[in-house]
């Protein structure tokens, strides 16, 4: 399909989606404001922005050009084909048949992977002789196979190697499972506009959210067109009835956004939304969707389907996705409790590039770029601005600047400011409560100021300004940072080295006629008086006796 034909098809799809979206709801005032200016620009911008993703997915037999989406179902996934596994296993293990091990054991071992059910005791015994540490009850068969190859010395794990390519196919086939539903992975702007179901649906609300397009209650539904216009986001979803086309636009049952740039090997999986509300209880679905999409991307790019997947929040690789300029949607991948995951394919572990997600949304009335909900400022009916939290309109003088959990500047009313935000005593700005920390004195600071100027007391666990902290030594001799209150209550300053040490780890001693407190390190310069048992500095002892005991001894000898 030529580009202009694709744009015209997208335009018709968006109008169809708007009609489907309002079909079962009385809340249609917003939908009535949608104009050709919005639809025409969204269709053109989205089709052009997603072209690289589209060209990649067109290589898949699951691609549906009319829907502008992959349709993954039972014809695309299946139970393991053990004939394919058999051929792959023999091809991979072929170098091991050169006499380096017993060929009968190899043939017996292969049966563990190439037959379903039955008695595998002979195969397990053969694997035990070939690779004693490879097999363990409950261990995935693909991992057993790989461990056996490693033990036999035929596992070439160089990126792009013949072994990697064949093993990825074998592992995929062993883990294949027929699914009973259709998973749509779409680039169609109509599906982004309708990513969440309409509010006040007469059939009952399911999977509505701040992205529901028939309500201007929240500004975040600006993200519907903002995601549709970027070059990396695809939407994966299921619907209540795949045989009824309108349900693709008004009755989604699960929905999840994925972000990928072709040829980059870096995949972000955002929050799972379902009819129960979200992430909780959806981990199984989320993992299955990710596996299916990883497989499609790998096959389209002609690479082994080998990915490392880990939690996105605070990941140890420093991977940090940013929102694009003007994006007004809800960046749910930034929140720890929404379980966003990032996957890195083996062939790009060293050269992947992080990209921006989302961009300006479009005003549904005039079609101009905006980041403030469904309407640009000029098209707001009353000339007033929305509170970014409650959605009510106020004069600009009655709105206050605050910062969201992700650091995005927003305008909110006084009530929402006081309910959801806290004042940072350092930078004197308001931040969402998810992005502030309460200090020991009850005040709040934003996490950025906290990280620059404050520390946790290793003793009481409270946050204090760095100027109100002291360095001390704990019972194990390790350096700790403690607040001055804990220092004065739990620690004593060593009179020799000046360090603060736990009070129950100092020794009372004498030096030059003065009582002192000495830490475990400095006590090595002291010794107990052989007579009275008190501790004295080495310089104060003579023949093992302290000055007082020497004096008493000399007086006794003089009598």
Confidence of residue 521 (pLDDT cuts 50, 70, 90): confident
Number of helices followed by number of strands (H, E) in the chain: 17, 31
**What percentage of the chain carries pLDDT values higher than 90?**
62
Which range among 145-149, 404-408, 462-466 shows the weakest confidence by mean pLDDT?
404-408
What span, in angstroms and rounded, lies between the C-alpha atoms of 228 and 291? 23
Q: Across residues 509-518, what is the average pLDDT?
A: 90
Helix (H) or strand (E) holding 309: strand 307-311
Distance (Å, whole) CA 72 – CA 88 = 25
Indicate if the pLDDT at residue 287 is higher than 70.
Answer: yes
Given a cut of 80, whether residue 278 has pLDDT beyond it is no
Flag whether pLDDT at 383 surpasses 60: no
Tell me the C-alpha distance between 218 and 375, whole Å: 11
Average pLDDT over residues 118-144: 92
The reported pLDDT for the residue numbered 437 is: 93
Q: Is the pLDDT of residue 402 over 90?
A: yes
Q: Cα 544–547–551 angle (5° rounding)?
A: 105
pLDDT tier for residue 381 given thresholds of 50, 70 and 90: low
Instruction: Residue count of the chain, please give it.
Output: 559
pLDDT at 75: 66
pLDDT tens readout for residues 193-210: 999 999 999 988 788 888
Reply yes or no on whether the pLDDT at 237 is more than 80. yes
- Cβ atoms of 222 and 371 within 8 Å: the answer is yes
Query: Would you state the pLDDT for residue 188?
Result: 98
What's residue 91's pLDDT?
94
Task: State CA 214 to chain mean position distance.
Answer: 30
Please say if the pLDDT value at position 192 is more than 90: yes
Note the pLDDT of residue 310: 95
**What is the average pLDDT across 526-541?**
90
Share of the chain above pLDDT 70, in %: 96
Nearest residue to 203 (alpha-carbon basis) of 275, 278, 280, 285: 275
Residues 6+ apart with CB under 8 A from 416: 387, 388, 389, 390
Residue pLDDT, tens place only, 38-94 = 999 999 999 999 999 999 999 999 999 999 999 998 766 777 888 889 999 999 999
Cα distance between residue 393 and residue 279, in whole Å: 31
Q: Examine the pLDDT at 484 and tell me if it is beyond 70.
A: yes
- Say which residues have a Cβ less than 8 Å from residue 271's Cβ, sequence separation at least 6: 256, 257, 278, 279, 332, 333, 335, 338, 339, 340
Residues 434-446 have pLDDT tens digits of: 999 999 999 999 9
Over residues 271-290, mean pLDDT: 76
| Average pLDDT across the chain, whole number | 90
- Is pLDDT of 433 > 60? yes
Radius of gyration of the chain (CA): 34
Q: What pLDDT is recorded for position 360? A: 97
9 pLDDT tier (thresholds 50, 70, 90): very high
What are the pLDDT digits (tens) for 312-343?
999 999 999 999 999 999 999 998 888 899 99
pLDDT at residue 1 greater than cutoff 80: no
The band of 559, judged by pLDDT with boundaries at 50, 70 and 90, is low
Biggest distance spanned by C-alpha atoms of the chain: 122
Tens of pLDDT, residue by residue over 21-53, are: 999 998 998 999 999 999 999 999 999 999 999
- pLDDT for the residue 79: 74
Cβ atoms within 10 Å, residue 239: 21
Give strand pairing partners of 400.
Answer: 412
Instruction: Answer for the pair 204, 240: CB distance below 8 angstroms, yes or no.
Output: no
pLDDT band at 285 (very low <50, low <70, confident <90, very high): confident
DSSP annotation of 128 reads: H
* Confidence at residue 179, expressed as pLDDT on a 0 to 100 scale: 82
Res 122 pLDDT > 70: yes
Higher-pLDDT residue of 258, 215 = 258
Residue 69's beta-bridge partner residues?
A: 64, 186
């Amino acid at each position: 399909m030529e580009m202009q034909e694709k744009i015209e098809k997208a335009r018709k799809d968006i109008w169809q989606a708007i009609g489907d979206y309002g079909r079962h709801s009385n809340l249609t005032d917003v939908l009535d404001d949608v104009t050709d200016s919005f639809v025409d620009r969204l269709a053109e911008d989205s089709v052009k922005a997603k072209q690289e993703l589209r060209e990649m997915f067109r290589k898949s037999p699951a691609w549906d050009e009319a829907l502008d989406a992959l349709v993954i179902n039972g014809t695309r996934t299946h139970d393991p084909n053990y004939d394919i596994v058999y051929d792959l296993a023999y091809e991979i293990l072929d170098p091991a048949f050169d006499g380096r091990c017993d060929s009968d054991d190899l043939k017996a071992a292969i049966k563990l992977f190439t037959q379903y059910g039955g008695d595998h005791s002979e195969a397990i015994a053969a694997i035990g002789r070939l690779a004693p540490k490879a097999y363990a009850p409950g261990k995935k068969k693909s991992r057993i196979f790989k461990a056996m190859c490693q033990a036999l010395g035929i596992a070439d794990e160089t990126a792009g190697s013949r072994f990697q390519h064949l093993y990825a196919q074998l592992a995929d086939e062993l883990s294949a499972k027929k699914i009973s539903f259709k998973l749509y992975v779409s680039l169609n702007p109509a599906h982004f506009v309708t990513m969440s179901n309409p509010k006040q649906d007469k059939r009952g609300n399911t999977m509505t959210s701040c992205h529901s397009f028939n309500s201007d209650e929240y500004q975040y539904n600006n993200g519907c067109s903002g995601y549709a216009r970027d070059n990396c986001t695809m939407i994966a979803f299921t619907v209540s009835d795949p045989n009824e086309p309108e349900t693709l636009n008004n009755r989604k049952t699960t929905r999840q956004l994925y972000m990928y740039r072709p040829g980059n090997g870096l995949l972000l999986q955002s929050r799972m939304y379902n009819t129960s509300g979200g992430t909780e209880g959806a981990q199984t679905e989320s993992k299955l969707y990710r596996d299916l999409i990883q497989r499609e991307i790998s096959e389209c790019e002609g690479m082994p389907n080998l990915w490392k997947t880990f939690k996105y929040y605070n990941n140890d690789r420093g991977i940090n996705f940013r929102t694009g300029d003007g994006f007004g949607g809800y960046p749910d991948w930034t929140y720890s409790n929404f379980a966003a995951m990032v996957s890195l394919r083996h062939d790009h572990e060293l050269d992947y590039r992080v990209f921006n997600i989302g961009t300006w949304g479009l005003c549904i009335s005039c079609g101009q770029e905006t980041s403030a909900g469904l309407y640009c400022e000029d098209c707001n009916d009353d000339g007033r601005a929305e509170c970014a939290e409650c959605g009510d309109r106020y004069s600009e003088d009655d709105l206050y600047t605050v910062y969201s959990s992700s650091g995005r500047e927003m305008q909110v009313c006084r009530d929402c400011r006081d309910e959801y935000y806290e004042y940072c005593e350092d930078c004197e700005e308001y931040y969402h409560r998810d992005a502030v920390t309460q200090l020991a004195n009850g005040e709040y600071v934003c996490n950025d100021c906290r990280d620059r100027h404050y520390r946790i007391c290793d003793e009481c666990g409270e946050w204090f300004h760095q100027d109100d902290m002291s360095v001390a030594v704990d019972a194990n001799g390790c350096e700790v940072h403690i607040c001055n209150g804990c220092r004065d209550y739990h620690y004593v300053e060593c009179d020799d080295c000046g360090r603060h040490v736990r009070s129950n780890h100092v020794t009372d001693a004498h030096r030059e006629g003065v009582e002192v407190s000495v830490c475990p390190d400095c006590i090595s310069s002291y010794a107990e008086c052989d007579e009275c048992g008190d501790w004295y500095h080495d310089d104060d002892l003579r023949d093992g006796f302290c000055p007082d005991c020497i004096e008493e001894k000399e007086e006794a000898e003089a009598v």
